[in-house]
Structure 1
Amino acid sequence: MTFLNIMNTTHPVAAKLPHYKHVEWDHPEVAFKMYISYISLFFDLAVLAYHFSTPFHPKFYVKATRRQVLRLHIASGCLEILACVAAFYAEDPTYYAYAAAAFAAIAHVPSTFYQIPTVLGIKAFLVPSLNMVTALHGYFAFNLVLNPTSAYYLQSTYMTVHIYAWSRVFFALYYRFKLFEGHRFSAAMLTSGMLLVPTVLGLRGNVILLSVVVVSDIFLRYANNAEFWVSWTTEHPRELSSSPEKKVMLEALITAAEVSNAIPLLATQNPKERYAHICATVMTANSRNLSPREKARVVFRAIDTNQDNELSTTEFKDFLLTCGISQYEMDDKMMLQSLFNGQKTASFNDFCSWFTKNWIHSNTITIPRMPSTPRGQAKLVFDTLDSDSSGHLDLQELEHLLVSWGLPANEAEGYLKTLDKDESGHIDFQEFYHHMSTVWKFAVQSFVDEGKIRIEE
């Protein structure tokens, strides 16, 4: 059965108008679609209310084009939904159907395609599936123009515009019951897709959806390098997840490295004796107040035992083991795969990038109460990100933060350069407060939700 045959199996031969008077409620599949349609309309209102009361994700605001596309996306989606509802209840749905199709084809579908590359979650699943659902949205809108009285194309256009609304509902549900922690956004989007696709393609729709994902990922796996594949298959959470255990291990690495570098005799000892001496002395050492890059340099020097300015997997694992970090913790919490990317060695720049990203993701702060003023909340976020208490934020730290939130690296870098007027490579609190309001307004609640900011009971 071809794709077009699949489409036409549920397409009525002749439309009976108005649509709402001729719904076959006794037919289970039709009744299911109608219930989902009405519930979707209710969720539209809930999602709009949420976004009017909650700051948008920073990735939509750091670039003017993204802000404009987001506004176009929201406006066209709302107008399309209203036009679909009007067409469903109108005696003559033709003009309303044309309007709905126009809003979809001219604005909503293109703006969705534009935003898909920055989607959070596991891109290996979400990018192909969102591309498929968006393509279906465009397909149904095009056919609605050709068949403006078709109930099938009208309802299918209406359903495919709701992928985001349902994902927000499932995300809230999973958050409420603490389900799929660490993969919540991906789970919500996939559940949304697997609910809506069958409403327009029938039960076979999910088979088609999964097939599209598998085929796309097989092609991308062999067409790109290992670094791309690691990023493609890694969860990019909506929130910046916190891991106190990881912070403890990073602190241990820094302290151990300081001891190693401070005692010249250790450099001449057998590696195992050297590491044992480090571990025996680690609890008495004081961590220095360095920037993340300087901390990374200290640790790098300690691990690079042969001084060839590269870290081998053997050097790194030996160092971690003698610091008391188990093999499980290496693979799970230290994320060695993301450092070496399938290679046998890592340069200092690779290590610095890995270390900085993990450092800013692991910092936490405890406060007695939430500040009541915007300035106080901005300072709270600033202090949380200022993991080395230097009084400023390195551009590299902020870039990792923005990239972890789904912004392309080149856009994050360009955005931060425009803020760094004096080219110091740092952002102080005044710059952060006045010019990065979209970041701290979003981050303050996100950090509380994820445990990076802890409020005492």
Structure 2
Amino acid sequence: MATNSTATFDLLPHSKHVDWESSETTFRMYVGYLSLLFDIGVLTYHFTTPFHPKFYVKTARRRILQLHILSGCLEIIACVCAFYAEDPTKYAYAAAAFGAIAHVPSTFYQIPTVLGIKAFLVPSLGLVTALHGYFAINLVLNPTSFYYLLSTYLTVHIYAWSRVFFALYYRFKLFEGHRFSAAMLTSGTLLVPSVLGLRGNIGLITFVIISDIILRSTGTVEFWKAWTTEHPRELASNPEKKVVLEALVTAAEVSNAVESLSVQEPKDRYSRICATVMTANARNTSPREKAYAVFRAIDVNRDNELSVGEFKDFLIACGISTFEMEDKLMLEGLFQNRKVVTADDFCAWFTKSWIHSSSISVPRMPSTPRGQAKLVFDTLDADGSGALDLVELETLLTSWGLPRNEAAGYLKDHDKDHSGTIEFQEFYDTMGTVWKFAIQSFIDEGKIRIEE
């Protein structure tokens, strides 16, 4: 029996005429059976676990996700029925319809807001989804084709496999900080060869590289930074950014605790700061207060402006090389082609970066829902104002990979007193999906530190 797209005839039913002598077909069948097994776990997860909070920002996004899950389930059932039926035609048509009309379009709708590193995942998911649509359309034209039936069935499973790999990496603490991206890429490199052979991965890698080269040459610095930043499923930060921020906070603590540092030579001063990075305890102050203290600590000439040179010197002293600075776009993110920044500029950049980046110290773990919501609220309230403003909501949404412009609508939906901000009571009453998800994320990631 032919197992490629040139097949014009397939023996029926498919289940009785699988060519187990073919290593390629055997591999595809084993992946298919494992996919069906994992479907059970993934569906159990979906029906017992609330959606990620990003799907509650817009009602349309949540409805599309529900359509995506339903159409995917129906497509899988139709594919299985077609595999075992004496006449697979009607089931093949049903599977193709669920895929081409509902599942593929709903996937394309969600791709721009995918978590993880968009530079890898958007092009690769786009390619796999296009393949899914291609196979579904060809299944309509060739409803008795085993190749198109199995290929349609396999390409619909990229998310199921990503959940399996994510759980595996989480269990063994692998790829921390990049777990979602690693899981999606692993599932892609497994499924693409199962439908296109080994040349599929070469095509996938080539497509991702070409897409990113084009976007890098046409996009802005801000776009490229967001495009290459990990957007974790949890409320977590980039580990490398966390190291830098911890070093900055330590600089503030040491500068305030040891006044003599302010009159020492910069090299000695930075060396002493960096020597205490791993041992200093964070002061219980708001991110904006930390930011201003940090600014004073690294503003060597005390002119109330921070130069590129001053900031570079400090990062180098923290162990960040010049190459890494450029690679992580740290300087561009703060200075944006300016030679100096003011204290306000630095504080705005720091508080934006600080959210979700540091551990949270509490006397004891809150035991009530209200206490847990307050802990999350205080973490998101970067400037310590007692309310979440538009900038803080923008930071929250963009950390999930969502468009910044959705924050205004989200604020309007939850700002019941029309004050222009979200106070704690509004947060507790109307944003339960956020704080319940966040508190569990804090626990899972070990971000909550009980003070002794």
Which TM-score band (shorter chain)? Answer: 0.7 to 0.9
Contact kept in structure 2, 1:258 and 1:299, CA below 8 Å: no
In the TM superposition, residue 138 of structure 1 has moved relative to its aligned partner by 0.5
Percent of matched pairs sharing the same residue: 66
Q: Which moved more, 1:363-372 or 1:35-44?
A: 363-372
Pick aligned residue for 1:149 from 112, 123, 144? 144
2:48 is the counterpart of 1:53: yes
Distance 1:252 1:207 in 2: 45
* Alpha-carbon shift at residue 13 of structure 1 (Å): 2.5
1:169 partner amino acid: V
Matched, 1:312 2:303: no
CA contact (8 A) 1:87 1:96 kept: yes
Paired residue type of 1:233: T
Match of 1:158 in 2: 153
Return the offset for 1:65. Answer: 1.0
Contact 1:61 1:67 in 2 (8 A): yes
Equivalents in 1 of 2:133, 2:67: separation in Å?
16
Alignment deviations for residues 351-386 of structure 1 (CA, whole Å, 9 cap, x no partner): 344311332223323568765654343234334445
Residues 177-256 of structure 1 aligned to structure 2 (within 5 Å): 177-241=172-236, 248-254=246-252
Residue 33 (structure 1) aligned to one of 28, 32, 35: 28
Distance 1:274 1:21 in 2: 77
Does structure 1 residue 95 correspond to structure 2 residue 90? Answer: yes
Name the SS of the counterpart of 2:75 in structure 1. Answer: helix
- Please name the residue that 1:4 is paired with: none
Distance 1:258-1:136 versus aligned 2 partners, 3 A rule: same
2:354 corresponds to 1:354: no
TM-score by length of 2: 0.84
* Contact 1:119–1:127 (CA under 8 A) maintained in structure 2: yes
Aligned with 2:115 (options 120, 136, 142): 120
Amino acid at match of 2:247: M
Find the aligned partners of 2:169 and 2:395 in 1 and give their Cα distance.
26
2:69 to 60, 64, 74: 74
Is the Cα contact below 8 Å between 2:99 and 2:132 reproduced in 1? yes
Equivalent position SS for 1:361: coil
Match among 429, 434, 452 for residue 447 of structure 2: 452
- Paired letter, 1:404: S
Closer, same or farther: CA 257–346 of 1 in aligned 2, 3 Å: farther
Range that drifts further, 223-232 or 16-25: 223-232
Deviation at 1:397, TM superposition (A): 2.9
C-alpha offsets along residues 219-269 of structure 1, whole Å, 9 cap, x if unaligned? 111111222222212222222225675564343455578799x99xx8xx9
Q: CA deviation at 1:41?
A: 0.8
| Change in 2 beyond 3 A, CA 1:30/1:376 | same
Q: Which runs of 5+ in 1 are unaligned?
A: 1-6
Distance 1:289 1:420, change over 3 A: farther
Determine if contact 1:399/1:416 at 8 Å carries over to the other structure.
Answer: no
TM-score using structure 1 length: 0.83
Return the letter of the residue paired with 2:249. Answer: E
- Offset of 1:179 from its aligned partner? 1.3
Q: Which amino acid aligns with 1:411?
A: E
Q: Is the 8 A contact 1:44 1:165 kept in 2?
A: yes
Amino acid at match of 2:67: L
> Match for 1:339 among 333, 342, 347?
333
Greater relative contact order: 1 or 2 (C-alpha under 8 angstroms, separation 6 or more)?
1
Q: Per the alignment, do residues 441 and 8 of structure 1 end up closer, same or farther by CA in structure 2, a change over 3 Å counting?
A: same
The code of the aligned residue for 2:192 comes to V
User: Which residue of structure 2 lines up, in the alignment, with residue 420 of structure 1?
Assistant: 415
One-letter amino acid of the structure 2 residue matched with residue 343 of structure 1: N
CA distance in 1: counterparts of 2:80 and 2:398, whole angstroms = 38
1:389-404 correspondence to structure 2 within 5 Å: 391-404=386-399
- Matches of 1:23 and 1:8, distance apart in 2: 9
Moved more, 9-18 or 334-343: 334-343
Shift of 1:15: 1.4
- Tell me whether 1:13 sits opposite 2:11 in the alignment: no
- Assess if the C-alpha contact under 8 Å between 2:295 and 2:346 holds in 1: yes
Q: 1:332-367: CA deviations, max 9, x gaps?
A: 799734624773536557534431133222332356
Is the counterpart of residue 135 in structure 1 residue 166 in structure 2?
no
Count of residues in correspondence between the two structures: 439
Shift of 1:166: 0.3
| Counterpart contact for 2:252–2:297, Cα < 8 Å | no
**1:216 counterpart SS class:** helix
**Equivalence for 1:440:** 435
In structure 2, C-alpha distance between the alignment counterparts of 1:62 and 1:248, rounded to whole Å:
31
Question: Which deviates further from its counterpart, 130-139 or 220-229?
Answer: 220-229
| Alpha-carbon distance in structure 2 between the residues aligned to 1:8 and 1:152 | 5
Structure-2 separation of matches of 1:138 and 1:397: 39
Structure 1 distance, partners of 2:147, 2:52, is 34
Q: Assess, with a 3 A threshold, how the Cα gap between structure 1 residues 327 and 27 changes in structure 2: closer, same or farther.
A: closer
Instruction: Go from structure 1 to structure 2 and tell me whether the alpha carbon gap of 1:341 and 1:302 turns closer, same or farther (over 3 Å shift).
Output: closer
CA contact 1:378–1:433 (8 Å) conserved in 2: yes
Would you say the 8 A contact 1:364–1:384 is kept in 2? no
- Note if contact 1:73-1:111 (Cα within 8 Å) is conserved in structure 2: yes
Contact map agreement 1:94 1:149 (CA 8 A) in 2: yes
Supply the distance in 2 between the matched residues of 1:133 and 1:74 (Cα, whole angstroms): 17
Q: 1:319-334 to 2 correspondence within 5 Å?
A: 325-327=318-320
Residue identity matched to 1:249:
A
**Structure 2 unaligned residues grouped into runs of 5+:** 277-281
Cα distance between partner residues in 1 of 2:314 and 2:23 = 62
From the superposition, tell whether residues 314 and 74 of structure 1 become closer, same or farther in structure 2 (CA, over 3 Å): same
Alignment of 1:377-392 (within 5 A): 377-386=372-381, 391-392=386-387
Residue 410 of structure 1 pairs with residue 408 of structure 2: no
Are 1:290 and 1:388, in contact at CA under 8 Å, matched by a contact in 2? no
Tell me the residue number matched to 2:425.
Answer: 430
Q: Alpha-carbon deviations, 1:246-303, whole Å to 9, x = none?
A: 564343455578799x99xx8xx99959979x98xx9xxxx99875456545655776
Distance 1:380 1:176 in 2: 26
